[in-house]
Amino acid sequence: MTTSGPPLKRAQVERLVRYLHFVRQSKGRSAAVSSARLAEHAGLDESQVRKDLAAVGVRGRPRVGFRPAEILSAIEKRLGLDQGYRAVVVGAGRLGSALIAYPGFARYGLEVVALVDADPLKIGTSIGGLIVHPVERLGEIVRDKEVRLGILTVPDAAAGEMARRLACAGVQAIWNFASAGIDVPEGVYVRHEHLSVGLAELAYHLSGRVSAE
């Protein structure tokens, strides 16, 4: 527990990530960033931006703005991104391979240290510098490498069983890319990354309706 203040809600975390991302992208380009620019980037009111930043201890100076380095350090600390944690990818298919190669992980404190798959033909091959291990070794891998996050990129039909195995192996959180819902014991945090929500939103827009939001 390196952070302070009351627990953040999911929507607050999302907003802080947007500010963080904007400041990281524009870092070095200016000595100060205004709440107006942050608000525009995040699609929010300026007052919301100021409130969110104040909640993590960042206060701007009138007519100057916020110091980028201060925003970065405050949000990274509040979100625990300065700590680092290890993950295993379950499912050595295209999506699993794509995620292993995703350059953003390190910037959010995450390191993929192992890769497992149920397909005997994949076991022993190397993807993105990681050897594919059999799922039977999941428990051992999680324990030995101190893995705290399982990234689930298996087909829907296998998602439930693999989530169960991850939970039994002792991970504290699961990042689920399968569309299937998964049941996990209390205490295991699940983040669903439902591509279908994006697909449906786009289909809805293309069908001729414009969101009122």
Residue 80: its H or E element: none
Q: Are 53 and 59 in contact (CB under 8 A)?
A: yes
Question: Does residue 19 bind a copy of itself (CB under 8 A)?
Answer: no
Q: How far is the CB of 81 from a copy of itself (least distance, A)?
A: 5
Question: Does residue 22 bind a copy of itself (CB under 8 A)?
Answer: yes
Nearest to 160 by CA among 137, 186, 179: 179
Question: Does residue 88 bind a copy of itself (CB under 8 A)?
Answer: no
CB closer to a copy of itself out of 136 and 161: 161
Q: How far is the CB of 197 from a copy of itself (least distance, A)?
A: 5
List the one residue from 34, 39, 41, 51 that touches a copy of itself (CB under 8 A).
41
Q: At what angle do helices 35-42 and 10-26 cross, to 10 degrees?
A: 120
SS3 at position 32: coil
CB closer to a copy of itself out of 79 and 142: 79
Question: Does residue 197 bind a copy of itself (CB under 8 A)?
Answer: yes
Nearest to 70 by CA among 23, 111, 2: 23
Distance CA 171, CA 165 (A): 9
Q: How far is the CB of 201 from a copy of itself (least distance, A)?
A: 5
